[in-house]
């Protein structure tokens, strides 16, 4: 420690502590009393106070940019942060994405072009119109089904007729051929019989 | 109804129990100017001082749960700021010693543009402060500008009270001699 300010009374240390307001209250009062009688200490105290005052000509500056924090508590780590920093986050994220995809797929429907609230028509009228529209649609479908059934039946009958006609023709052709064959056999038999009768008459 | 000023200890308690960011922002608003000026006097650079101030408060925010005695928030915060500053000095050493200040940094340290004080006194004080080594200058800053007690300074600097006194008294002797011509003129 510097001895430069040691003075004749040997109270330099106390003098500095007094100057820097580091003395206990009781010591402070005692040293204040000492200052009244010691010129060296008084002079040294003045020098110290002038030096301190000179140093304070450089005032504090305003901070160029204010500081503020907006994040969550960091002092104690939240359970969310602890979880997010753990290895389970990837699995959790995957499960979340999958769950969202399932829900979206299950509930996705095309957006209605016009809602009841937007149309401005009373609910009862809407219900009536919907019922009528449904009835018309059902009747239309029934007619279409009947027509389709009739067309199908007609086609089936025509197909059966054509098939029957073909079978009939084939049968008639077969019968003609059989008849032709029988006629040929009959002729042959007649000729043979005539020949036999001629030989028998020539022999008598 | 009794109104009572919200003390730092109240805010720290709120912060430690609930992690209330608004409580911390209030603490920051109370201390940021002092911490910034302390760091400005250590680094002589406004940009460095601002960056270090932000870093110091971020560290404080992250470690507030480790502060056992809320009444010691000031020295605790300055200890963080001191560590941040010396961390920066270590990174830059030896190319940027705090003694070798550029004219721009000198102007920042002196508060350029303020005509409130005689220029020769301002320059003399800056020059006298520059003649101190970093430890002595920090002791002067903590005592003269920040008003800490020796015990608090020892806590901030991480050294015994006797070392703090030695640094401060030696520094004051140097400053007293260097500023003597000006202070003597002022008393005439």
Complex prediction ipTM: 0.76
Chain B residues within an 8 Å CB radius of A58: 109-111, 117, 122, 125-126
CB contact under 8 A, B173 and A66: no
Q: Give the list of residues 6+ apart from residue A62 with CB closer than 8 angstroms, or none.
A: B33
Q: Across residues B79-86, what is the average pLDDT?
A: 95
Residue B111 DSSP symbol: T
The SS3 assignment for B57 reads helix
Chain B residues within an 8 Å CB radius of A14: none
Instruction: Return the number of CB contacts < 8 Å for A and B.
Output: 123
Of A63, A69, A75, the CB nearest to B33: A63
- pLDDT level of residue B82 (50, 70, 90 thresholds): very high
Instruction: Report the distance separating Cα A58 and Cα B133, nearest Å.
Output: 19
What DSSP line would sit under A94-142, residue for residue?
A: HHHHHHHHHHHHHH--PPPSS-HHHH---HHHHHHHHHHHHHHHHHHHH
Of B40, B54, B125, the CB nearest to A54: B125
Average pLDDT of the residues of chain A = 80
Instruction: Report the distance separating Cα B151 and Cα B85, nearest Å.
Output: 21
Sign of the C-alpha dihedral computed for residues A132, A133, A137 and A140 taken in this order: positive
**Polymer length in residues for chain B:** 188
Residue B124 has pLDDT above 60, yes or no: yes
Chain A residues within an 8 Å CB radius of B149: 22
Cα three-residue angle A181-A184-A185, rounded to 5 degrees? 90
Chain A residues within an 8 Å CB radius of B143: 20
- pLDDT level of residue A117 (50, 70, 90 thresholds): very low
Instruction: Report the distance separating Cα B145 and Cα A59, nearest Å.
Output: 9
For residue A150, whether the previous peptide bond is cis, meaning omega lies within 30 degrees of 0, is: no
Residue A114 has pLDDT above 80, yes or no: no
Residue B36 DSSP symbol: H
User: Are B152 and A27 in contact, with CB atoms under 8 Å apart?
Assistant: no
The CATH number given to B114-188 is 1.10.10.10
The radius of gyration of chain A from alpha carbons, rounded to an integer in Å, stands at 64
Chain B residues within an 8 Å CB radius of A62: 33
The SS3 assignment for B93 reads coil
- What count of Cα atoms within 13 Å lies in the side-chain half-sphere of residue B67? 28
As given in the structure block, the two tokens for residue B180 are 């003597």
As given in the structure block, the two tokens for residue A125 are 């009228």
Please tell me the predicted confidence (pLDDT) of residue B159: 96
Other residues' Cβ atoms within 10 Å of the Cβ of residue B35: 26
CB contact under 8 A, B19 and A76: yes
* Choice among A91-100, A162-171, A195-204, B43-52 with the minimum mean pLDDT: A195-204
Distance from CA of A86 to the nearest CA of B (A): 20
Cα three-residue angle A59-A60-A61, rounded to 5 degrees? 115
Residue A92 has pLDDT above 80, yes or no: no
Q: Give the list of residues 6+ apart from residue A59 with CB closer than 8 angstroms, or none.
A: B111, B114, B116, B117
CB contact under 8 A, A69 and B25: yes
Ranges for all domains in chain B classified under CATH 1.10.10.10: 114-188
Of B32, B117, B149, the CB nearest to A63: B32
Please tell me the predicted confidence (pLDDT) of residue B97: 47
Higher confidence at residue B96 or residue B31? B31
Q: Find where tokens 């970093």 sit.
A: B134
Please tell me the predicted confidence (pLDDT) of residue A49: 93
For residue B85, whether the previous peptide bond is cis, meaning omega lies within 30 degrees of 0, is: no
Euclidean distance between the first and the last CA atom of chain A, given in angstroms as a whole number: 188
The SS3 assignment for B69 reads coil
User: Are A22 and A14 in contact, with CB atoms under 8 Å apart?
Assistant: no
Average pLDDT of the residues of chain B = 84
Euclidean distance between the first and the last CA atom of chain B, given in angstroms as a whole number: 55
Cα three-residue angle A50-A51-A53, rounded to 5 degrees? 65
User: Are B12 and B28 in contact, with CB atoms under 8 Å apart?
Assistant: no
Strand ranges (DSSP E) for B101-184?
none
Does the domain made of B1-108 have the CATH classification 1.10.1740.10? Answer: yes
Residue A180 has pLDDT above 80, yes or no: yes
Instruction: Report the distance separating Cα B186 and Cα B107, nearest Å.
Output: 24
- Of all residues in chain A, the percent with pLDDT exceeding 70 is 77
- Of all residues in chain B, the percent with pLDDT exceeding 90 is 59
Q: Across residues B99-107, what is the average pLDDT?
A: 47
Q: Across residues B47-58, what is the average pLDDT?
A: 95
Residue B142 has pLDDT above 60, yes or no: yes
In chain A, helix, strand, coil percent, each to 5?
A: 70, 0, 30
Instruction: Report the distance separating Cα A4 and Cα B174, nearest Å.
Output: 10
């Amino acid at each position: 420690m510097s001895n430069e300010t040691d003075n004749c009374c040997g109270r330099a240390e106390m003098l500095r502590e007094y100057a820097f307001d580091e003395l206990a209250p009781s010591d402070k009062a005692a040293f204040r009393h000492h200052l009244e009688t010691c010129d060296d200490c008084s002079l040294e105290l003045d020098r110290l106070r002038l030096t301190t005052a000179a140093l304070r000509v450089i005032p504090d500056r305003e901070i160029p940019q204010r500081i503020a924090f907006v994040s969550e508590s960091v002092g104690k780590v939240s359970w969310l942060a602890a979880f997010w920093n753990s290895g389970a986050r990837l699995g959790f994220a995957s499960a979340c994405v999958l769950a969202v995809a399932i829900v979206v797929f299950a509930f996705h429907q095309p957006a209605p072009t016009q809602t009841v609230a937007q149309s401005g028509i009373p609910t009862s009228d809407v219900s009536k119109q919907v019922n009528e529209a449904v009835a018309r649609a059902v009747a239309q479908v029934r007619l279409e089904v009947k027509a389709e059934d009739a067309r199908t039946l007609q086609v089936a009958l025509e197909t059966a007729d054509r098939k029957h006609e073909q079978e009939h023709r084939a049968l008639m052709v077969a019968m003609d051929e059989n008849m032709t064959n029988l006629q040929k056999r009959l002729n042959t038999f007649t000729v043979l019989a005539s020949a036999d009768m001629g030989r028998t008459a020539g022999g008598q | 109804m009794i109104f009572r000023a919200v003390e730092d200890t109240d805010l720290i308690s709120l912060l430690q129990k609930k992690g209330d960011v608004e409580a911390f922002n209030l603490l920051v608003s109370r201390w940021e100017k002092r911490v910034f000026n302390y760091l400005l006097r250590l680094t002589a650079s406004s940009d460095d001082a601002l960056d270090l101030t932000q870093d110091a408060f971020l560290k404080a925010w992250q470690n507030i749960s480790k502060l056992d005695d809320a009444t010691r928030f000031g020295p605790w915060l300055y200890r963080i700021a001191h560590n941040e500053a010396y961390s920066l000095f270590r990174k830059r050493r030896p190319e940027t010693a705090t003694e070798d200040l550029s004219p721009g940094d000198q102007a920042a340290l002196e508060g350029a543009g303020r005509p409130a004080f005689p220029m020769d006194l301002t320059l003399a004080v800056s020059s006298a402060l520059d003649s101190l080594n970093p430890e002595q200058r920090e002791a002067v800053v903590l005592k003269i500008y920040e008003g800490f007690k020796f015990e608090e300074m020892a806590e901030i600097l991480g050294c015994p009270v006797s070392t703090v006194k030695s640094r401060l008294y030696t520094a004051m002797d140097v400053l007293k001699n260097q500023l003597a011509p000006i202070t003597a003129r002022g008393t005439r």
